Amino acid sequence: MNGNQIEGLIGMAATLGILVLLVLPSVIGIVRDRRVDRQLGQAQEDRERLAAPGRRETQKSSSRSTVPSTATWYADGRRSKKFVSS
């Protein structure tokens, strides 16, 4: 091998190393997300299996009346105003 070939090999190795460093965090994140998804799915299966077949929990609605938020109140007030040009 002459000097040009060695220099090309070093450049290629450096480029490959940088590519690996850039892709590695994404691959680690994907693996972690899949592990968490698998754990969540397994926990949900366990919960469904442990629940009695005749006894399903239903979501209960609140007996309190709902009050619109300040943002909704402000937006309704702004919409109801008529602009009068003078």
pLDDT class of 6 with cuts at 50, 70, 90: very high
- The predicted model gives 7-20 an average pLDDT of 97
Strand ranges (E), the chain: none
Distance CA 38, CA 74 (A): 44
The string of pLDDT tens digits covering residues 21-36 is: 999 999 999 999 999 9
* Predicted pLDDT of residue 50: 86
- The predicted model gives 45-60 an average pLDDT of 72
If one counts every other C-beta atom within 10 angstroms of the C-beta of residue 71, the result is: 8
Distance CA 31, CA 38 (A): 11
